[in-house]
Amino acid sequence: MKTKYIFLILCFLGIAMGSCKDDSASNPTFADDELYIYTDMLESVSAIAGTLTEFPILVSPADGSVSVKWLLDGEVIGTAPTLSYTFTQTGSFKLRFEAVRNGTTNFREFTLVVTAP
């Protein structure tokens, strides 16, 4: 009987120790030329003039090695993955998100339509 309890304790200890290892799925490694952009934004996005608008984008890796910028018709309007901006003019514009890591550039382009309030 005592042997069964010792065996069970050793099994539980083995399971507990095995579950403490680092899970590589939650802590992936990236090659120097890997850079990914994730967004659910469509190719055409809209905003209302005079209203704060946010466009969120996720970039991987998110370890501080990536520099990002948002461009509106070629002019930089933001340098964070999520753009928080109040558009002042109505019309159709080219909105571009760029991410750079170790000389590798990845980007997404959108058509932005800003309407009057």
| Residues of the chain predicted below pLDDT 70 | 1, 11, 13-14, 16-27
pLDDT tens, residue by residue, 23-36: 555 667 888 888 99
pLDDT at 3: 79
pLDDT at 17: 65
Instruction: Give domain status of residue 66, yes or no.
Output: yes
Cβ distance 66 to 57 under 8 Å?
A: no
Instruction: Please tell me the number of Cα atoms within 13 Å of 23 on its side-chain side.
Output: 4
Cβ distance 46 to 111 under 8 Å?
A: no
Number of domain units in the chain: 1
We report the CATH number of the domain holding residue 58 as 2.60.40.10
* pTM summary value: 0.74
- Cα(90)–Cα(56) distance, integer angstroms: 21
pLDDT at 47: 98
Instruction: Give domain status of residue 45, yes or no.
Output: yes
| Beta pairing class for 44-48 and 104-115 | parallel
Instruction: Give domain status of residue 73, yes or no.
Output: yes
Instruction: Give domain status of residue 111, yes or no.
Output: yes
Domain with 68 in it: 28-115
